[in-house]
Amino acid sequence: MSGPSVPEQGRGAGRAHDQQGSQQGCEPPVRVMLVDDAGEVRWLIGLLVEDEAGWTVVGEARDGAEAIVRAEQTRPDVVLLDMSMPVMDGLEALPHLRRVLPQALIVLVTAFPVAEVREVAVGCGADACLDKVDMATTLVPALLRLHAERQQARGPGAQPGHALGPRP
């Protein structure tokens, strides 16, 4: 059983937010790529980021190798990257994704204890490492906080758009 996969075209909620935002003169929604070998997890995370944050899913991948290709195609602002996947895991994909997306917010999500992997993940190019265990309640608030910190680091007068600015 696997949830729906929605590659480059995104999902409905984010597109609706995008239309409302552009009508009201707001900045465009944040563009997100989801990378997880479990389709159900990608589906759930997609619902959370679109419904609760108003962001747009622009791509999905099942492993790190596919993520690198999709990142080049979709140029997301944020990448949510699972740590444990077949073919190429998240830690192996991180340096490649960082080279392709130097300004993106790349967040490793893991079921492993975050305290045990955070230092390695950041050393490989992640901006943050979040726990999958409570993601239904903690993922979106954490992402909104990380995004706000990144936007603030860009400084006043920075133009909104698809690049969040360099890593702090």
Question: In what helix (H) or strand (E) does residue 154 lie, and over which residues does it extend?
Answer: helix 135-154
> What's the pTM value of the predicted model, to 2 decimals?
0.77
The band of 64, judged by pLDDT with boundaries at 50, 70 and 90, is very high
Q: 83-106, pLDDT tens digit by residue?
A: 889 999 999 999 999 999 999 999
The band of 153, judged by pLDDT with boundaries at 50, 70 and 90, is confident
Helices (H), ranges, 29-134: 39-51, 64-74, 90-100, 114-124
Asked if residues 130 and 42 have their Cβ atoms less than 8 Å apart, the reply is: no
Asked if residues 119 and 126 have their Cβ atoms less than 8 Å apart, the reply is: no
End-to-end C-alpha distance for the chain, whole angstroms: 40
Domain 29-141 maps to which CATH number in 2.60.40.10, 3.30.70.270, 3.40.50.2300, 3.40.50.280?
3.40.50.2300
- Predicted confidence at residue 76, as pLDDT, reads 96
Residue percentage of the chain with pLDDT more than 70: 76
Output the CA–CA distances (angstroms, integers) from residue 155 to 78, 145, 148, 162, in the order listed: 19, 16, 11, 16
Asked if residues 141 and 48 have their Cβ atoms less than 8 Å apart, the reply is: no
